[in-house]
Amino acid sequence: MRQPRWIELDGVVNMRDVGGMPTVGGGAVRSGRLIRSDNLQDLSADAVRWLVDEARLSDVVDLRTDVEVRGEGPGPLAGTSVRIHHLSLYPDGTSTTGIPDDAELPWLADRGEITSGSHEAMLVQHYSRYLVRRPDNVVAALRVIARAQGAVVVHCAAGKDRTGTITALALRLVGVGIDDIAADYDATNERLPAILRRLRDRATYAADLAGQDVASQRTPADAMRGLLEHVDAAWGGVEGYLVRHGWLAGDTDALQRRLLG
């Protein structure tokens, strides 16, 4: 099993390159093309320089809500040559900070009801709702990845739920197997205590995390496996979902060229 390619920079605790992930056709995702991360607000000046000059970062897909951006600010990359694309997976005007909570009533996708109850099932419903409510920004995020000139960082607050969903769709569309995608998603559990410590220190997230423990925020592989299986059943696969919302064959070709080379 491929080991996570962690990127250790000052100011983040859950950044990794998805390069090296195998495709079912025998290829692999190229390194230095797609990076997933937690909140970028605390990046040091040296970390920013490394991303821009060494990693050749050209674009950031920022999945945070308006509430988060107002509370946290645009981040230290905003003053560089990097293009920031704010593409929330929540409805405009929402008051949420995007922290999922098992105590919430389950969200049901528009196609096919998912049995509620377990943490995994709650997450499948939660992530499915991103796809139902914000297909515009899902498509836009994947197009950024496909058309970028350099590396792309996809991030939210923790780098697990929204980031995990967009990363999974991109990887699935270029032929990475569901089990490998689920394993990559599960890797966030290694960093979860550090992620929660970091977010609890920020006023934007402290209230939503009050009373929540590591178990309530875990990212089990079965949740991502369940989401991708649901996409297959409801829309005939990731491309079937995207095509319904304006995705073109040329977009798929561009994403494959970008991530696989």
Angle of the 119-133 helix axis to the 135-147 helix axis, nearest 10: 80
Q: What CATH number has the domain bearing residue 144?
A: 3.90.190.10
Domain region containing 61: 5-260
pLDDT of residue 113: 43
Helical H segments across the chain, by residue range: 45-49, 66-72, 119-133, 135-147, 162-173, 178-186, 192-200, 203-209, 221-235, 238-243, 249-260
Asked if residue 170 has pLDDT above 90, the reply is yes
pLDDT of residue 189: 96
pLDDT of residue 209: 83
Cα–Cα distances in angstroms (integers) from residue 140 to residues 4, 241, 259, in the given order: 26, 14, 16
User: What does the pLDDT look like over 178-210, one tens digit per residue?
Assistant: 999 999 999 999 999 999 999 999 888 888 888
Asked if residue 221 has pLDDT above 70, the reply is yes
pLDDT of residue 101: 60
Query: SS3 of 209, please?
Result: helix
How many helices (H) and strands (E) are present in the chain, helices listed first?
Answer: 11, 6
Count of domains observed in the chain: 1
Asked if residue 99 has pLDDT above 80, the reply is no
pTM of the predicted model as reported, rounded to 2 decimal places: 0.93
Instruction: Give the span between the Cα atoms of 12 and 218, in whole angstroms.
Output: 18
Query: Residue 10: how many CB atoms within 10 A of its CB?
Result: 12
Asked if residue 4 has pLDDT above 80, the reply is yes
